Amino acid sequence: MVPYLFLGFGGLLVATALMVILHRNPVTSALFLVLSLCSLAGIYLLLQAEFIGMVQIIVYAGAIMVLFLFVIMYLNLQHDVEHGAHIAWRRGIGWMVGALLLLFSALLFGRGWAVGPAAAVPPAAEGGNAAAIGRVLYSRFLFPFEVTSMLLLVAMVGAIVMTRGRRAPEEERA
């Protein structure tokens, strides 16, 4: 059962990820990205990582992509701009990234592809894997966890400062 589900989710993931970059309408692209994030969550579920699967949907599909859509709709981007000087830049960067990807995959496959263990690693049984993640996060990985939260706090303050804009000097003194 699990291999078939994996094929289904994996196929959906690849197909929708391709549609994200192939579709011309930005809103449709964003929706395909939501779908591909959801199928990724399905793969997490198959790996018995329920907590990560659900958080994937809540954070990426539910919060971040809604904001993406919000911005796309707010700016009313109908179609990609097809003219101007920056399109050449964009094409150039696209070719470069594509070439790098090809190079990496050639190197990877050239060294022989090792398939991981066939069976999924069983999760920590007691309390489900939410409890296991919490225990590890607050003991062994406490420092990186705290550093990440500081980073997010700085980003949040930065975002607020930027959206407030620069006020005129006389207004600031008042």
Partner 1 sequence: MNGLASLWAIPAVQVTAWALLKVVIILGVMLGVVSYLIYAERKICGHIQARTGPNRVGPLGLLQPIADVAKLLLKAEFTPASANKVIFHIAPILAVFPAIVTFSVIPMGPPPMFVVTDISVGLLLFLAMSSLGVYAITLAGWSSNNKYALLGGLRSSAQMISYELAMGLSTIPVLLRSGTLSLTGIVESQSGVWLVPGTRIPLPNWGVFHWYLVLPFLIFLVTSFAETNRAPFDLPEAEGELVAGFHTEYSSMKWALFFLGEYMNMIVICSITVTLFLGGWHGPGPAMLGIVWYLAKLFALLFVFIWVRWTFPRLRYDQLMGFGWKVLLPASVVNVLLASVWLYWRANG
Here the tokens at position 90 are 């964009």
Task: Write the burial class of residue 41 (CB in 10 Å: 0-12 exposed, 13-18 middle, 19+ buried).
Answer: buried
| Number of CB atoms found within 10 A of residue 27's CB | 15
57 makes contact with partner 1 (CB under 8 A)? yes
* Size of interface with partner 1, in residues (CB under 8 A): 26
Q: Which stretch binds partner 1 (CB under 8 A): 105-113, 128-136, 137-145, 148-156?
A: 128-136
Instruction: Name the residue nearer to partner 1 (CB basis): 74 or 113.
Output: 74
Query: Cβ of residue 170: shortest distance to partner 1, in angstroms?
Result: 27
Q: Assess 149 for contact with partner 1 (CB under 8 A).
A: no
Q: Is 20 in the site for partner 1 (CB under 8 A)?
A: no
Q: For residues 41 and 57, is the Cβ–Cβ distance under 8 A?
A: yes
Nearer to partner 1, 6 or 51 (CB): 51
Output 1 or 88, the one with its CB closest to partner 1.
1
The C-alpha atoms of residue 123 and residue 118 are separated, in whole angstroms, by 15
Closest to partner 1 by CB, 98 or 134: 134
Report the candidate in 46, 44, 22 with the shortest Cα–Cα distance to residue 33: 22
* Distance between CA atoms of residues 45 and 52, nearest Å: 8
Q: Which of residues 22-51 bind partner 1 (CB under 8 A)?
A: 25, 27-28, 31, 34, 50-51
**Under rule CB under 8 A, residue 121 binds partner 1:** no
